[in-house]
Amino acid sequence: MILAEMTSPEIDALPRDIVVLMPVASCEQHSLHLPVFTDSMIGGEVARRVHEKVPDDVLVLPVQWLGYSQHHARYPGTVTAISETHLLLMMDIVASMVGHGFKKILIQNSHGGNGSNVSVLLQRLMERFQNEEAEFYSRWAWASGEKLNEIRELGGGGSGHAGETETSMIMAIRPDLVRTNRLDADGERDGMRVSGVASYHRFDQRTAQDGPEAGEMPGAMKVELEPGDIVFYNANLWHRGFNPEGEQRWTMHCAFWKRDYMVMGHEWGQRAALESAGHLERMPEKTAQYIRRYLDKSPEKNPPSLLEPKRRSSLPQFLRVIRQP
């Protein structure tokens, strides 16, 4: 039975020992190649196939797509609840069904970030409905890791976020939504896991690549510096710097140029040139998109540009790193 397709009297006529299947999922970034609704699409498809096999023994609720995805919150397209809201939302949905007399509730989870809240939910339900003849269960939306390892080309390494497993599932459900031209291997940064110690990090802190905007700067050259290292680069190049580990560190930033050469007082001074007629249109689309995002995030008021076309540097593009022994 599909609850969303039934009338209220039809639902009221159902036996109260029918299993109520409640899919919980998320709406969050799934790398460069999968849609943000990946977890919800997978959860919905699994529930649909369960109903297909035992249509008279299960009442399938609509997918609860709002999940706990705070660790993905920096990525555009992610829609997330805080932990308390997510827990209360699931509690209210289950309480509604228990209030109608249904006694068997199965929470089907297809998003890893929901795991902790689902565990707490089961505890809260037991506390709240101690005097009810209701049973509450939860399980992961797909097969065990051992079963998947038998068919995955990457073995145990393909089960990560937006990895082989999820990509294969969306290829089976909606192949038109998989950007096969954007497939790119990634991994977890070294040192992110300590044996025997639990931790929780934002996703952009965990991945080997640099977060929501990394990799989108066309032709970017990544240079990792240790304390004491020096890097020389042409300041006319697009550049940025940050510490991926989030630790504060003193950095000396110097510049030198030809005598009597006019330079801009601030990097925002390039805005007028970037927004000039036809400038972005002549760039590759990917480059133009990156610069438009840069301009959108910059303040509206900028100092006037001191970079005149006739006085721009003719220095060759170069980058050199000096490592301390």
Q: Work out whether the CA dihedral 275, 278, 281, 284 comes out positive or negative.
A: negative
28: closest CA among 39, 20, 36? 36
Residues of the chain with pLDDT under 50: 210, 212-215, 263-266, 268, 302-319, 325
Q: Which residue has the tokens 């096969």?
A: 180
What pLDDT score was predicted for residue 182? 78
Q: Buried b vs exposed e over 158-194: b needs ≥16 C-beta within 10 Å?
A: bbbbbbbbbbbbbeebeeeebeeeeeeeeeeeeeeee
Torsion angle of the four alpha carbons 13, 65, 23, 48, in this order, in degrees rounded to the nearest 10: 80
42: closest CA among 174, 154, 203, 176? 174
Rounded-to-integer distance, Cα 62 and Cα 93, Å: 11
Q: Say how many C-beta atoms besides its own lie within 10 A of residue 41's C-beta.
A: 22
Rounded-to-integer distance, Cα 141 and Cα 121, Å: 17
CA distances from 184 to 30, 71, 181, 206, 223 (A): 12, 21, 9, 16, 20
Give, as one character, the DSSP assignment of residue 23: E
pLDDT digits (tens, 9 = 90+) for 166-176: 999 999 999 99
Tokens of 244: 């991926």
Give the domain ranges of the chain: 3-182, 230-322
Give, as one character, the DSSP assignment of residue 7: -
Q: What is the pTM of this model?
A: 0.64
Angle between helix 115-128 and helix 83-99 axes, rounded to 10 deg: 40
DSSP result, 62-124: PPB--B--GGGTTSTT-BB--HHHHHHHHHHHHHHHHHTT--EEEEEE--GGGHHHHHHHHHH
Q: Say how many C-beta atoms besides its own lie within 10 A of residue 52's C-beta.
A: 8
What pLDDT score was predicted for residue 270? 60
DSSP result, 26-66: -B--BTBTB-TTHHHHHHHHHHHHHHHH-TTTEEEPPPB--
Domain 3-182 in CATH 3.40.50.10310? The answer is: yes
Q: Are 71 and 28 in contact (CB under 8 A)?
A: no
- Helix locations, 142-266, DSSP H: 145-151, 164-173, 203-206
Given the DSSP bridges, would you call strands 104-109 and 19-24 parallel, antiparallel or unpaired?
parallel
